Chain A
Amino acid sequence: DAKTTQPPSMDCAEGRAANLPCNHSTISGNEYVYWYRQIHSQGPQYIIHGLKNNETNEMASLIITEDRKSSTLILPHATLRDTAVYYCIVRDSPFGGATNKLIFGTGTLLAVQP
């Protein structure tokens, strides 16, 4: 089962920041928070990941609370092409060659409105 909970849907106005919340209250110390998104009829796309520090890349920012029990993905200037299902995934760090497969939940459908 997924270890995260997300709102099923959100709306955002084009050009505004989209803030997508994620709760992961049972996260353990060596588990990372990953975000992927799936635009309609495409495969999932990696966005960003982090452990405990805030992270930023060309696509988004990831803010992780100090207790690590929740995080927020921020798309600073949402466009219509950002309409997608966004998945927040908690993923263990593998060792010894073990697989740490992605466990997808139901995600948040972000609808960017013109």
Chain B
Amino acid sequence: EAGVTQFPSHSVIEKGQTVTLRCDPISGHDNLYWYRRVMGKEIKFLLHFVKESKQDESGMPNNRFLAERTGGTYSTLKVQPAELEDSGVYFCASSLVTGNNEKLFFGSGTQLSVL
């Protein structure tokens, strides 16, 4: 069974450009999360989808970030326009059920470098 896949694995863009990250969760997982680690900091929560609905987007840093999950399958995270401080590793995770026994399965991440 395929795990959580993220594309691209690396992206190098210039400040002011737009970048779109994609996440394909494990098939059948309704819950999809985005996290990120910026340089020197801890891994931080960005948002949580349940199917196509945004359950919690309290971690989204500002309105330059837009996440979508049309159809409740894969998700995209767009950064427009990108700033230097957006550089970091963006992780996607999915889970089958929430609650006490939720186990998140993470992808390998997208390394974003904004120059």
Q: How far is the CB of B104 from chain A (nearest CB, A)?
A: 6
The answer on a CB contact under 8 Å between A44 and B43 is yes
Interface residue B33 (Cβ < 8 Å from any Cβ of A): yes
Interface residues of A in 36-66 (CB under 8 A from B): 36, 38, 41-46, 49, 51
The answer on a CB contact under 8 Å between B91 and A44 is yes
**B6 (CB) vs chain A CBs: closest residue:** A43
Interface extent on A, as a size class?
20 to 34
Residues from chain B with Cβ under 8 Å of A93 in the complex: 99-100
A-contact 0/1 string along B59-72, CB 8 Å cutoff: 10000000000000
Name A's interface SS: loop
**A43 (CB) vs chain B CBs: closest residue:** B106
The answer on a CB contact under 8 Å between A104 and B42 is yes
The answer on a CB contact under 8 Å between B56 and A101 is yes
Residues from chain A with Cβ under 8 Å of B4 in the complex: 43
Q: How far is the CB of A4 from chain B (nearest CB, A)?
A: 12
Interface residue A102 (Cβ < 8 Å from any Cβ of B): yes
The answer on a CB contact under 8 Å between B43 and A104 is yes
Compute how far the CA of A49 lies from the CA of B99 in the bound complex, rounded to whole angstroms. Answer: 12
Residues from chain A with Cβ under 8 Å of B22 in the complex: none
Interface of A with B (CB < 8 Å)? Answer: 2, 32, 36, 38, 41-46, 49, 51, 93-94, 97-106
With A43-B107, A102-B35 known, 4 other A-B pairs at CB within 8 A are A42-B106, A42-B108, A97-B98, A104-B42
